[in-house]
Structure 1
Amino acid sequence: MSRGKQLRDVIFGRRSIRRYEPRPVPRPLILELLTAATWAPSAHNRQPWRFAVIESTGQKAHLAAQMGERLQRDLTADGLPVAVIQQDVARSYQRITSAPVVILLSATMADMDAYPDKRRAGHEMTMAVQSVAMAGQNILLAAHDAGLGACWMCAPLFCPDVVRDALSLPADWLPQGMLTVGYPAQARSKTRRPLGDVTIWR
């Protein structure tokens, strides 16, 4: 790896980091992460990923507030207690606004194959989403290799229209997830389920 780490160390050492130091992430380093993302495998090599990088404090606050409003409405409709709703909304807002950088990952079907039936069209959409996910994993690994921390958030899936409007994204950008990125202010240790629990051999 570029900074002396072995691939195994990067894969096994990566953790989801949710607290960051307040210092900014240099633009060249962000570009390194995005470049790594674009070298992920993709369906038909169509590279259906799109990235929106949010560094502005005001833009992060606007995005978080708009997403928070939708989250509050959804949780209220679910009948959750007000205190629980307020806690969830505040947590979501803090996670977005406290990160030095937020990278939104979107999929586009613009260059993917088109089918007249829902079955194959649905599979093609899945292929685009899988491609974006692999690009996101490259970002996570590249961030860890660079001494950064990052965390994948799935929240945009629950309010893609809100995210698209808040960031003035093109209509064909389909928000899939976002990554908070920064210099880690925490160390985390997690275990994994044994292979025997998740693997079968035939």
Structure 2
Amino acid sequence: MEEKAKSFEELKPMLRPTGVEPGIMKVDPEKCTSCGLCIQNCPFKCLEMDEDEHPKMKSGCVCISCSNCIVACPVDALSIERVYTVKGGFFDTETPAVKMPMPPKDADGTPAEWNEVERVVLERRSVRHYKKKPVPEPLLTRVLEAGRFAPSGGNHQPWKFTVVTDPEFIAELEATLHGFWSGVYPVFNNDETVMNMVGVVETGVFDPRTQYGIRCIALKELPVYLGAPVIVYMGAHTKLNNPALTIGICGQNMNIVANSLGLGACWTNFGAVPLNAMPELKQRLGFGEEWTVVTALVLGYPKFKQFGMVARHYRPVTWFRPGTKTPQTEK
């Protein structure tokens, strides 16, 4: 029997979620030098200057507590007053507290130092502001090789890369993808047309953070490709097993190596997924019918400091240690 389509009221908890408490950042006016880097580095443009030339939160914004404002500040003038939280409603996943990285210890439990790999992983942040400086192809090859040598189930290696470094083509791609999102944005905002997206996009697209990202791109507050000089499209063959997971592992290899080479990187699903609905452009980028464009990684030299260790969600780890069959959960 065919399942009856749900009404807007039945789907409203997902489409118009409640209980969302956006993050709140606090600025210390005694430390602040009014450089504006925190405002520039906020992906969702949640900060603006007040009458005293100190950053303040905008009303109605959706701060996602990414801490990009914190890492850009040269004088440590910002802190988190409230982490993005959802209390009740469809997207309530019991938001945990945030913690800084646990101090490193050696095998004997003695305080130690982060090794080079750990430091790159822990200090890596998504970079959204780049110098115009081109990235030399030998360095790009090293990044791509890091992806090529990622692990994959059954050694399937389902990935395929397309690299775009031509500024004119990047500008064309930016205009095309912005046009797509500026057209989609009103669809999500209308109670009638948003129903057409149910079952077409993943549930997570209706999360307020994703919706606010779509808004920022549609209004050109956030460029699709972030002004980066390099776009790496990552495709997966549809016949191979679990390509989305594998592409993620592959891409993180590339991301870490890029950062180790002094580059910055950022994921942009906004600049990749819509290509699957644009067969001519998808084909032009080298992906045939049996390939899916999973995501894209933009690369370049950071325009200013956009890295550093920040707090992240800490969901207690459950352990089954030797000598016990009962779980031990760390607080």
TM superposition score normalised by structure 1 = 0.79
Q: d(CA) in 2 for partners of 1:85 and 1:43?
A: 33
Which amino acid in 2 is paired with 1:109?
A: T
1:192 pairs with 2:312: yes
Candidates 92, 98, 101, aligned match of 2:230: 101
Q: 1:85 to 1:194 in 2, by over 3 A?
A: closer
Q: How does 1:17-28 map to 2 (within 5 A)?
A: 17-28=127-138
TM superposition score normalised by structure 2 = 0.50
Candidates 149, 153, 161, aligned match of 2:277: 161
Candidates 250, 253, 257, aligned match of 1:135: 250
Quick check: 2:128–2:266 contact (8 Å CA) kept in 1? Answer: yes
Using CA pairs under 8 Å that are at least 6 residues apart, name the structure with larger relative contact order, 1 or 2: 1
Quick check: 2:217–2:224 contact (8 Å CA) kept in 1? Answer: no
Describe the superposition over 1:159-178 as per-residue Cα deviations: whole angstroms up to 9, x where unpaired: 42235156353222211111
SS of the residue corresponding to residue 96 of structure 1 reads: coil
Which amino acid in 2 is paired with 1:194?
A: Y
Candidates 133, 136, 156, aligned match of 1:46: 156
1:73 pairs with 2:193: no
1:181 match? 299
Q: d(CA) in 2 for partners of 1:29 and 1:149?
A: 12
Runs of 4+ in 1 over 6 A off after TM superposition: none
Q: d(CA) in 2 for partners of 1:7 and 1:88?
A: 33
Q: 1:85 to 1:28 in 2, by over 3 A?
A: closer
Quick check: 1:63–1:166 contact (8 Å CA) kept in 2? Answer: no
Q: Which structure shows the higher helix fraction?
A: 1
1:16 match? 126
How many corresponding residue pairs? 178
Q: 1:139 to 1:131 in 2, by over 3 A?
A: same
1:31 pairs with 2:31: no
Higher radius of gyration, 1 or 2 = 2
Q: d(CA) in 1 for partners of 2:288 and 2:245?
A: 21
Q: 1:49 to 1:85 in 2, by over 3 A?
A: closer
Q: d(CA) in 2 for partners of 1:59 and 1:97?
A: 14
Quick check: 1:107–1:175 contact (8 Å CA) kept in 2? Answer: yes
Quick check: 1:34–1:139 contact (8 Å CA) kept in 2? Answer: yes
Q: d(CA) in 2 for partners of 1:85 and 1:48?
A: 29
Describe the superposition over 1:45-90 as per-residue Cα deviations: whole angstroms up to 9, x where unpaired: 010011110101121112122212221221121237xxx9785232
Q: d(CA) in 2 for partners of 1:76 and 1:165?
A: 28
1:146 pairs with 2:261: yes
Q: Which runs of 5+ in 1 are unaligned?
A: 113-123
Identity score, percent:
27
Q: 1:184 to 1:85 in 2, by over 3 A?
A: closer
Quick check: 1:102–1:181 contact (8 Å CA) kept in 2? Answer: yes
Q: d(CA) in 2 for partners of 1:47 and 1:164?
A: 20
Which amino acid in 1 is paired with 2:141?
A: L
Using the TM superposition, give the Cα deviation of residue 158 of structure 1 relative to its aligned residue in structure 2, in angstroms.
Answer: 4.2
